[in-house]
Amino acid sequence: MNNIKVFHKQIIAFLAVSILLLIIIFLGYRYLSSLCRRLNCVSLNSINTWKEQEVYENTPLIYRSLFTASGYLVRVEKNLRLSKKDADDLTLVNIMKVEGLFNKARSPYTGEISNEISCDNKYKPEVKEITLNGIKTTYYIGWLNDRFQYGACLDDQLTYKAYNALFYCQNQKTLYHLEFIAAIKDKPEDSFFLDQIESIKCQNPLSKIGNIFP
């Protein structure tokens, strides 16, 4: 009988320790995740000058917002808790959506010349990939109308030029999409925004602990 009581106490103690460890792991994970809220775990040349203007969505799985900077805007989408494969699939979906806007469409007006509507190639985004700082970045340049939408095929419909960068941070399990938006009338320089994209680095959440505990 005494052995049974001792065994029961050991089981209870084991369960209590296991539950405590699970709580510690859960709180630790939540704490590390909080260190990378918003854009805290990404660095690039001009990020310290950005100011958050509006948050569209902020959940444990996605963060979407708009930042203002000197002479341009930055739309941000951050998808959390993704595997590398899921991030690659989501990147491909994003590219297909944008490219799909420029596929040939049937015109509602039939005629002898053409019954298709198509865009000149200069309006279509050209998707490229670079690997710098250990990060593979998919990027493309596109054109937006006055409602910040893609798909316009005429010069007088274009208001903004957008520089998109999609990259996955393995140490955060997070896919980022940064969209730099500049007004065409301001004559944005491609080199400035491409330099921003090339300077992107993923930071380890653990490196942020020192900011809290100096």
pLDDT above 80 for 75? yes
Q: What is the mean pLDDT of residues 99-115?
A: 61
The dihedrals phi and psi of 180, each to the nearest 5 degrees, come to -85, 125
* Alpha-carbon distances, residue 213 vs 38, 131, 134 (angstroms): 20, 33, 28
For residues 110 and 200, the model is more confident at 200
- What per-residue confidence (pLDDT) applies to 195? 97
Contacts 24+ apart (CB under 8 A), 121-130: 123/152, 123/153, 123/158, 124/99, 125/98, 125/99, 125/150, 125/164, 127/95, 127/99, 130/197, 130/198
Compute the mean pLDDT over every residue in the chain, rounded to the nearest whole number.
84
Contact between residue 142 and residue 127 where contact means Cβ atoms under 8 Å apart? no
Residue 117: pLDDT band with limits 50, 70, 90: low
Residue 67: pLDDT band with limits 50, 70, 90: very high
pLDDT above 80 for 43? yes
Residue 169: pLDDT band with limits 50, 70, 90: very high
- Residue ranges covered by each domain of the chain: 36-212
Residue 83: pLDDT band with limits 50, 70, 90: very high
For residues 18 and 145, the model is more confident at 145
Q: Which fold has domain 36-212?
A: Protein Transport Mog1p; Chain A (3.40.1000)
pTM of structure = 0.80
Residue 27: pLDDT band with limits 50, 70, 90: very low
- What per-residue confidence (pLDDT) applies to 107? 46
pLDDT above 80 for 66? yes
For residues 171 and 29, the model is more confident at 171
